[in-house]
Amino acid sequence: MIASLLIANRGEIACRIIRTARRLGIRTIAVYSDADAKALHVRQADEAVHIGPSPARESYLVGEKIIAAAKATGAEAIHPGYGFLSENADFAQAVIDAGLIWVGPKPDSIRAMGLKDAAKKLMDAAGVPTTPGYLGEDQDPARLQAEADAIGYPVLIKAVAGGGGKGMRRVNATAEFQEMLLSCKREAAASFGDDRVLIEKYIERPRHIEVQVFGDTHGNVVHLFERDCSLQRRHQKVIEEAPAPGMDEATREAVCAAAVKAAKAVDYVGAGTIEFIADASEGLRADRIWFMEMNTRLQVEHPVTEEITGQDLVEWQLRVASGETLPKRQDELKIDGWAMEARLYAEDPMKGFLPSTGDLAGLRFPGDARIETGFEEGDRVSPYYDPMLAKVICADDDRDRARLRLAGAIEHLAVWPVATNAAFLLRALMHPTFAHGEVTTAFLASNLDDLTAPVAPDSRTLEGAAMSLVGASLRDEVGPWNSAFGFRLNREPDREILLELNGVPYEARLPVDAEIIRLRDPGAVSLHGQTFRISLPKAGGDSGGPASDGAIISPMPGKLIAVEVRQGDTVAKGQKLLTLEAMKMEHSLAAPFDGIVAELNASEGAQVSEGALLARIENGDGA
């Protein structure tokens, strides 16, 4: 068994690997950037090495620094986690060439599956069913459009070197193809250094089914059954489960056998996932499920597979990398129960899913769920990395019990003041379509308005919060004259108090007993997964407001990757003005009304801070 392990990653996956390594008696070494100097994975590891500035391209994506850290600390092996360098064949080879153990597949296997067009050709040759599409070398925009027209819309443009939902665009009609192609190529070039694309037929009622596979260096390959990851937003998975709803034994056997065949075709070693797209218009059928791609690494959603099989997949990785055979044969693996995982993101669904950053003054996770996280209360959410705060996983005997258990866990977590998608997750879990197991990848987009509608605390929660808040105020300033109630001699205090709910005046009655999740801030309350700030209005205060209705403000720190207007241009309401890249996503900033670009403080490639005035739109009359 490996004796010492450097983890070339951060956050929850680094903490996850550390946990298993510690149980196996393996010494762990973490790496960290400036932004992660006090991160949880750094605190948990036996040793930690600083590898550079906060941007990932200057730290976590610099293979030479990671290998140097491994050598300096005497690490025997490197585990890449997922993301960053985990599917970089050149880095894998460099690790091996440095005399270190690579905890992952062979570099040649990564290369074989890393380019989607080549991977699909390989799967065709191996007899694995693939979706109709264009995989040609000719990347001329006119040729690509002609191929898309021939396939028939809608089609999907996908980056050849893509992954994680990056470099993908759905095109519904020929008229929008060229614009979508340009956007896809730009994102692919920025994310992968390769702007080549392929074209696929877009499946109208798609479900995302994936199979966990595992191989060892002795020629053994097994599957650990399937997962359903159909609940996605912008191709990013949100809620995953195992097994897949509606999967009968015959279809499961066919799909899992195809996955094993795919893994064997590339002489696969270690943990991998074969992703399939299913046309669910007639339920799950083996003849309507096609190979989509292979992820040559551990997946974010691996815990649901662990929960239904009772296996530790990180342990499997470490044993295989140490030269051992797979811990289980295929006939020793079985499905036991159901598991679901929800990804808790630091983002605000009611504001277009804008990422949220800052200090986690309050962080409470439920005690009856499996939590995979890289944060503790008091830590800081940085703008430099993926906004996932945690994965919440629940398992039970059947799907409905697992679903309700997960919903209860989401409802009873609390985060403050960083915004999260918890209320959004809870509504998705309780939606009748999801409850019946009928979700397709279009579910979130089709139900977005209902899932992102504002949540307000009920009167009981507000009253309980007000009691907590006023009680704290009275403790600070003892005496009847400092009471927030209407005080008068020989009269009971008023039972009403004016509060502010996230800055908006609200009248509540006091006193009352209420069960609320109390955080460090006595005015912070949580309801149905959403946390609110309750405060007393300041005497003579002014809640303030935007500098101008036409001000285009940067909602977060990031990089401007496109500036599509010039000062003096006439613009229409809703017209895209700027594109900001932050936390691995693109965010479009649009004109709030018809007018003229009176001020422009933006240039392509510039780094901007949160709250920066990027542009100002004025009405045509100068107002």
Helix (H) or strand (E) holding 115: none
Do the Cβ atoms of 286 and 278 come closer than 8 Å?
A: no
For residue 139, give Cα distances in angstroms to 135, 143, 173, 181: 10, 7, 19, 11
Give me the CATH code for the 343-447 domain, please. 3.30.470.20
**Would you state the pLDDT for residue 477?**
39
The pLDDT of residue 105 is 97
Distance (Å, whole) CA 93 – CA 106: 8
Q: Centre a 10 Å sphere on the Cβ of residue 250 and count the other Cβ atoms it contains.
A: 10
Q: State the pLDDT at residue 554.
A: 83
Q: Which ranges in the chain are annotated with CATH 3.40.50.20?
A: 4-103
pLDDT per residue as tens digits for the range 298-312:
999 999 999 999 999
Per-residue confidence (pLDDT) for residue 267, from 0 to 100? 95
Q: What is the pLDDT of residue 47?
A: 98
pLDDT along the chain (623 residues), means of 10: 97 98 98 97 98 96 98 98 95 98 97 84 90 88 95 92 82 96 93 91 91 97 98 93 97 96 96 95 90 94 98 98 98 98 94 90 90 96 94 98 96 89 95 95 93 70 59 42 34 46 51 45 65 58 45 82 94 90 74 92 87 86 55
pLDDT at 454: 73
Catalytic residue among 196, 207, 233, 297: 297
> Which helix or strand (DSSP H or E) is residue 228 part of?
strand 221-233
Q: Is 297 a catalytic residue?
A: yes
4-103: which CATH number, 3.90.1150.10, 3.30.43.10, 3.30.1380.10, 3.40.50.20?
3.40.50.20
Q: Any idea what DSSP says for residue 550?
A: T
Give me 168's structure tokens: 């993908």
How many whole angstroms separate alpha carbon 229 and alpha carbon 343? 12
**Going by CATH, does the domain composed of 107-131+206-336 fall within 3.20.20.70?**
no
Select the CATH number that applies to the domain covering 551-618 from these four: 3.40.630.30, 2.40.50.100, 3.30.450.20, 2.40.110.10: 2.40.50.100
**What is the Cα–Cα distance from 420 to 354, expressed in whole angstroms?**
10
Query: What is the pLDDT, as a whole number, of residue 535?
Result: 62
Angle at 93 between CA 91 and CA 97, to 5 degrees: 115
Task: Indicate the SS3 state at residue 222.
Answer: strand
pLDDT in tens, 2-23: 999 999 999 999 999 999 999 9
- The boundaries of every CATH 3.30.470.20 domain in the chain are 107-131+206-336, 343-447
What pLDDT was estimated at residue 494? 40
CA distances to 16, 205, 246, 338, 531 from 280, in Å:
34, 6, 10, 21, 37
Please give the single-letter amino acid code of residue 495: R
At residue 457, the pLDDT reads: 60
The residues that bridge with 509 in the sheet, in sequence order, are: 496
Helices 177-192 and 141-151, axial angle in degrees (round to 10) = 120
Cα distance between the two ends of the chain: 72
Q: What is the pLDDT of residue 548?
A: 47
Give residue 546's pLDDT.
38
- pLDDT value of residue 235: 84
- Model pLDDT, residue 555: 73
Phi, psi dihedral angles at 43 (to 5 degrees): -70, -30
Global pTM value? 0.76
- Residue 291 three-state SS: strand
Q: Is 439 exposed, middle or buried (0-12, 13-18, 19+ CB in 10 A)?
A: buried
List phi, psi (to 5°) of 213: -120, 160
Mode of pairing for the β-strands spanning 27-33 and 4-7 = parallel
- Exposed/middle/buried for 430, CB within 10 Å: 0-12, 13-18, 19+? middle
CATH homologous superfamily for the domain 132-201: ATP-grasp fold, A domain (3.30.1490.20)
